[in-house]
Amino acid sequence: MNKRASALEKMRQQEFDIAIIGGGITGAGVARDAASRGLKVALVEAADFASGTSSRSSKLIHGGIRYLENLEFHLVFEALSERQRLFEMAPHLVHPLRFLLPVYEGGRVPAWKMGLGMMAYDALSLYEAPELSEFLDVQEVHQEFPALETQLLEGAFAYYDAYMDDDRLVLETLRSACSHGAVVANYVKATGAQLANQRVTSLECEDQLTHTKFTLTARHFVSTVGPWTDLLGQKLFRDWKKMLRPSKGVHLTFSKSRFQLHDAVVMAAESRIVFAIPRHEMVIVGTTDTDYPGDPAEVRAEEDDVRYILKVIDRYFPGAKITRKDIIGCYAGVRPLIDDGAATESKTSREHLIWTDPRAVTFVAGGKYTTYRNMAQQTVEEVLSYFSLEERARWAHGQTLEPLNPLVSENLLERARSEARRWAEDWQLPESVTIALAERHGLEAEKIIEQALPVRARCKDPEEWMWCAEALHAITHTMCLSLTDFYLRRTHLILAREDHGLTFVPAIAQVMGERLGWDGKRQNDEINALQNQLNWELHATLSR
Ligand SMILES: Cc1cc2nc3c(=O)[nH]c(=O)nc-3n(C[C@H](O)[C@H](O)[C@H](O)COP(=O)(O)OP(=O)(O)OC[C@H]3O[C@@H](n4cnc5c(N)ncnc54)[C@H](O)[C@@H]3O)c2cc1C
């Protein structure tokens, strides 16, 4: 990724073809698509990259079995095709996962209908899922999931989807955009627009770190601010009409040793579904779906959300005896849903909408992570329709099917796994550490290890050193500027570890401080800021 200071300099001085507002997955996708076609692209993000909805999802790349019920086959087909592409483009971030869909007598959807749905799901994936769906009888289900409720159980369907690292997907997409020439900066907020001849000609921006103001000039502007769309729209245009019906979704996290699951389980709760998702490092359970009219930056899990999810777990896994004492972490996000007048929040369409204001601003909102690449492509095509024919021809093709990180294609990931054994020998590191780095970064792990060798002696153990290595990498390649941003969006420490990874704080703060020029006071401020953020985000679950 480019350096922030030089990005700001360029933003002040140059004129761009497009300027993108918002650095979540949608903005990152648009930046990568446009820059890979050859457009001159700038992107500003008001806080840290991915700090909005894009680090607060269920972290699934999925076709969306629930759309089958409404016969929305086109949506499922599009999502399953994108799932396959993401397996190829980002094998270090997107991992196949088996799901179990239990069938209970008297359930809302009868078994025969689910069976038809599963057949459709396989067909719509063009039979490219890691494994095709199958039906398990009660005994097989009980063997695999002894804690699952068996009363009235008729069996379960097993099928495949995928889990992912949502925040890192944004960061890698932005890195790729930068490698194609995009200029990006976090902590820059778009606060207004300057117009000439009924067109927006530049954005008024404020650097959130220094509070200095500047204008960003471009020929066309793209809003990818997700749940902030109405707030930004009001700042840009006095005649803005409200577009969104934002909805809040909460997740709880558990340790894998306490909530033992081989596969993900789909649980039916009233009119929606809640997933229990085992991953490498933790189990995530969620989500809720409630209207959220407040400020998206202020969203967090509340007591009612926690109770709701625990109730669903207890209904499906009475034998597991999961209580609030077992919760490790929680997080909440806001879905930027388009208001389609539906009766309830869960019935509101998840489809995205792209529309252009004639004053040279294209807006995109709604949709899913899974289909971000398509959504970005459609957005850029919409933008290009406002450019000349000659330019449209020149910028007709992007390169968004290439691996996100050239050092982590499927083959290279395999090579990194075997290289990891050599790295362990060469540098006398535990294999568990070098393999973990290889799984997360492919062949790039070698550079990450080398860069962090000088700080090794001062770390209390190899795991602590690994997180210091991650911190150095985050600073160099992902514009990570604070301890909080590192903990929240470059690692899973807060959500996955009982101690939220706080045991590593002194070492990580010191390593980051040396690289970023923090004095002792600043280091303490960083540690306090992280603790305050943690207390705020986890307030509904910390009193366990
Ligand atoms: C609970 C939940 C679970 C989900 N689970 C899944 C899932 O498992 N799979 C899936 O496919 N999809 C899922 N989704 C949907 C998916 O997460 C979202 O569609 C996607 O993250 C939206 O990304 P975005 O970039 O549009 O918005 P955001 O990620 O919110 O990004 C918008 C960015 O704009 C910035 N911004 C706002 N105002 C300004 C300004 N004035 N200037 C500059 N920047 C600004 C914000 O800081 C923010 O970072 C889920 C959503 C939720 C809420």
| C-alpha 61 to ligand 1 mean position (Å) | 14
Give the C-alpha separation, 474 to 56, whole Å. Answer: 19
| C-alpha 17 to ligand 1 mean position (Å) | 24
Q: Atom 15, ligand 1: which residue's CA is nearest?
A: 368
Q: What's the pLDDT at 146?
A: 87
Identity of the residue numbered 168: R
| pTM, full prediction | 0.96
| C-alpha 26 to ligand 1 mean position (Å) | 7
In the chain, % helix, strand, coil (3-state, to 5) comes to 45, 20, 35
For residue 25, give the ligand 1 atom closest to its CA.
25
CA 411 to chain centroid, in Å, comes to 24
Q: Atom 10, ligand 1: which residue's CA is nearest?
A: 369
Residue pair 182/398 in contact (Cβ under 8 Å)? The answer is no
Where does 338-461 have alpha helices with state H? 372-384, 389-394, 410-426, 431-441, 444-452
For residue 235, give the ligand 1 atom closest to its CA.
41
Q: E strand or H helix at 85, and its extent?
A: helix 73-89
| C-alpha 214 to ligand 1 mean position (Å) | 26
Give the C-alpha separation, 234 to 336, whole Å. Answer: 16
Q: What's the pLDDT at 543?
A: 64
Residue to substitute in 8, 48, 57, 485 for testing ligand 1 pocket (most ligand atoms within 8 angstroms of CB):
57
Residue to substitute in 368, 375, 379 for testing ligand 1 pocket (most ligand atoms within 8 angstroms of CB):
368
Q: E strand or H helix at 153, and its extent?
A: strand 153-164
Q: What's the pLDDT at 111?
A: 87
Q: Atom 9, ligand 1: which residue's CA is nearest?
A: 60
Topology of the domain covering 410-542? Helicase, Ruva Protein; domain 3 (1.10.8)
253 vs 143, 273, 420, CA distance in Å? 24, 17, 29
Give the C-alpha separation, 232 to 62, whole Å. Answer: 30
CATH assignment of 4-53+167-244+349-394?
A: 3.50.50.60
Given a cut of 50, the residues of the chain with pLDDT beneath it are none
Paired with 189 in beta bridges are 206
Give the DSSP letter of residue 159. E
Paired with 106 in beta bridges are none
Q: Atom 37, ligand 1: which residue's CA is nearest?
A: 225
| C-alpha 338 to ligand 1 mean position (Å) | 13
Q: What's the pLDDT at 108?
A: 81
Rg (C-alpha) for the chain, rounded Å, is 23
Domain chopping of the chain, boundaries: 4-53+167-244+349-394, 62-165+245-335, 410-542
Nearest residue to 253 (alpha-carbon basis) of 221, 285, 294: 285
Q: What's the pLDDT at 86?
A: 96
231 vs 198, 235, 240, CA distance in Å? 21, 7, 9
Give the C-alpha separation, 78 to 142, whole Å. Answer: 34
Residue to substitute in 53, 187, 275 for testing ligand 1 pocket (most ligand atoms within 8 angstroms of CB):
53
Give the C-alpha separation, 329 to 46, whole Å. Answer: 25
| C-alpha 59 to ligand 1 mean position (Å) | 12
| C-alpha 333 to ligand 1 mean position (Å) | 8
Q: E strand or H helix at 113, and its extent?
A: helix 111-124
For residue 297, give the ligand 1 atom closest to its CA.
47
Provide residues with CB under 6 Å of ligand 1: 21-27, 44-47, 51-54, 56-60, 189-190, 224-228, 232, 249, 287, 333-336, 367-370
| C-alpha 293 to ligand 1 mean position (Å) | 16
For residue 29, give the ligand 1 atom closest to its CA.
25
Q: What's the pLDDT at 544?
A: 53
| C-alpha 183 to ligand 1 mean position (Å) | 20
State pLDDT tens for residues 104-122.
998 888 888 889 999 999 9
Identity of the residue numbered 174: L
| C-alpha 306 to ligand 1 mean position (Å) | 22
Q: What's the pLDDT at 265?
A: 96
3.40.50.11710, 3.40.109.10, 3.30.9.10, 3.90.78.10: CATH of 62-165+245-335: 3.30.9.10
Q: What's the pLDDT at 211?
A: 97
